[in-house]
Every structure is written in structure tokens, then in C-alpha cells.
Amino acid sequence: MLLPKIEETPLALNGQHHFHEAPPDWEPPSFYKVSLQGRDFSHRYMGQANLREAQLAGANFYMADLRGACLVGANLAEANLIGANLAGADLREANLAGANLLVADLYQAILNGANLLGACNLTTQQMYAAIYDHTTQLDPAIDITMKRLPIPSMKTTGPSLAPDLTRGAFQSPFLLPQASDDSQHAPGGPGLAGDRQENRQLDTTIPRIMQNGTKSAIAG
């Protein structure tokens, strides 16, 4: 049976995502218990195909579309599943030992009882997207007992820096030095008066070195 290539299937739009739909008059093929070891299915569309208990060891599914396919009890040992779309696929009791799952899409893939020991490039993030239970066999490096990090809350306990539109003009939470009332009439203008007021807050208890009109200095 000649399987269509993914690029030959119509491209549908779903919000912000692009995905391929089944070709017109598509009838999912059945390979129930068929021996297909080492076959090349790269870039092929196999959506909802029946591959139950099929012998697929060493098969090449590079970038293949296997969404919703039935792979219950299938032997996928050492198979190339790089970039394969296995979203919603039923992989219960499947043998995926040594399979290469680099960036494979396992969203909602059913992996109950599946053997994933020695699977290459499998990540914890991929497993979080899949469906599994205590019967799923995984390497110790895949820690599915770890809880996902919660999304940090945007709430803060301190004063908000956002303008309060209900109070009219924006009030800064930081206090700036204010010039005195006579700053407008002070020599040098309000800027100089503000500097003088700020200088009043300095510690003047430490004796300063004062000039006596000559090149020498005396302590005052």
C-alpha cells in the first residue's frame, strides 16, 4: 500500500497552529500483526493507522504523522521516531526500548505499560505531555515524580509603580527633595535652592578644614 507523504496532505489552520489533515477519501490502513521491520515510513501520513502488534523494530518513522494511530503491543524497538507526531496515539504495552524519540510529539499519547527503557533523547517534558501510569517502564533519568514548577505570581506586596488612574495625576512612590517656598527668589534659581536644602541634611558635626585667606589651612 502506497502511503501519502505529509506534504501531499491538505494543510488546515487551527488558531495559531498549522497541522495536516487526512487526505480526501483517506481510509486508515491496517497492518495488524504485520512484519515491517526496518521499513522506511519517513515523512509518511499514517493517521489513525492500525498497527496493533505490528513488528516495527528498526523502522524509520522520521517526521511521520502517526496521530491517533493504534500501536498497542507493537514492537518499535530501535525505531527512528525523530520528529514523529504521535499525538493521541495508543501505545499501550508497546516496546519502545532503544527507540529514538528526539522531539517526538507525545501529547496525549497513551503509554500505559509501554517499555521505554533505553529510549534515546526522551525528556521529562515529553512525558509530562503523555498519558502514563506506574506500569510504564522508564529509565531513572526520566523523573516523572517531580512536580512541575508553578507559574510565578505577578502579585507584589510593595507599592505599585503603575499610575493610579483613579486619582488623577500619577503620584510617584519615591520621595524627591522639595525646594522651599522662597526657592523661586533664591540666587541661582530653584535648582540651587534645592541643592542647599539637601546640603542641610548632611552631618556637620565633623570639623571642616577652612581656608584662612592664605595657602595654609586651619581647623574650624
Judged against a pLDDT cut of 90, whether residue 93 lies above it is answered with: yes
Judged against a pLDDT cut of 80, whether residue 164 lies above it is answered with: no
For residue 70, give every residue at least 6 positions away whose Cβ sits within 8 Å of its Cβ, in sequence order, or none.
Answer: 48, 49, 50, 51, 52, 89, 90
Q: What pLDDT is recorded for position 47?
A: 92
Judged against a pLDDT cut of 90, whether residue 205 lies above it is answered with: no
| 3 state DSSP class of 20 | strand
Amino acid letter, 188: G
Instruction: Identify which has the larger pLDDT, 122 or 205.
Output: 122
CATH superfamily of 30-141: E3 ubiquitin-protein ligase SopA (2.160.20.80)
Tens of pLDDT, residues 100-124:
999 999 999 999 999 999 999 999 9
Q: Which of 1-10, 101-110, 207-216 has the lowest mean pLDDT?
A: 207-216
Mean pLDDT estimate for the chain: 75
User: In angstroms, rounded to a whole number, what is the distance separating the alpha carbons of residues 55 and 71?
Assistant: 10
User: In angstroms, rounded to a whole number, what is the distance separating the alpha carbons of residues 135 and 113?
Assistant: 5
Average pLDDT of span 56-79: 97
Top mean-pLDDT range of 5-14, 76-85, 181-190: 76-85
Q: What percent of the chain has pLDDT over 70?
A: 55
| Pick from 11, 27, 31, 30: nearest CA to 19 | 11
- What is the Cα gyration radius of the chain? 36
Judged against a pLDDT cut of 60, whether residue 148 lies above it is answered with: no
Q: What separation, in Å, do the N-terminal and C-terminal C-alpha atoms of the chain show?
A: 105
User: Domain extents for the chain?
Assistant: 30-141
